[in-house]
Amino acid sequence: MRIARSLLDEIVAHALEDAPDECCGVIGTRDGEAVRVHRVRNAAASPLRFEMDPMEQYRATMAIEDEGLELGAMYHSHTRSAPRPSQTDVNLATRWWPDPVWVIVGVGDPQAPEVRAYAIRDGAFEEVPLEVV
């Protein structure tokens, strides 16, 4: 997935602002390129997991559709672990969202956030390139 530095910075800022709780949101894409970031409130308000607020998630998804974009990626942060899918992430993606790329921001060290992207399907994950332009 290609993403502009400004959009990636927006996602990282969201992760840092919501810490110590995890953040979450969705990314609208066109032809594999990130075009718009939509923050979604973490209804769980937890440093260990995220749960997208259903109404905000609906609004963000409808905005993406209204703009003629695709729901190309989901994002969230890990505040205490590396930006690698947890078993909870794998289960969630496999059950509900197997198509979007999963972008995870690790903010365990707020001075050096780390961002990785993954394809998660059929109970397994594979890192995918995140091309920052």
113 band by pLDDT with thresholds 50, 70 and 90: very high
Token pair 């993606």 is found at 93
Let me know: does 101 contact 51? Beta carbons within 8 Å: no
Q: How much is the pTM?
A: 0.94
pLDDT at 61 over 90: yes
CA 113 distance to own-chain centroid:
14
CATH no., domain 2-132: 3.40.140.10
Region 55-82 average pLDDT: 96
65 band by pLDDT with thresholds 50, 70 and 90: very high
Let me know: does 119 contact 128? Beta carbons within 8 Å: yes
pLDDT at 99 over 90: no
Q: Rounded to whole angstroms, what are the CA distances from 129 to 3, 20, 33, 44, 126? A: 11, 27, 12, 29, 10
pLDDT at 43: 97
pLDDT at 3: 97
pLDDT at 35: 96
Share of the chain above pLDDT 90, in %: 83
pLDDT at 114: 96
**CA gap 94, 112 in Å, rounded:** 30
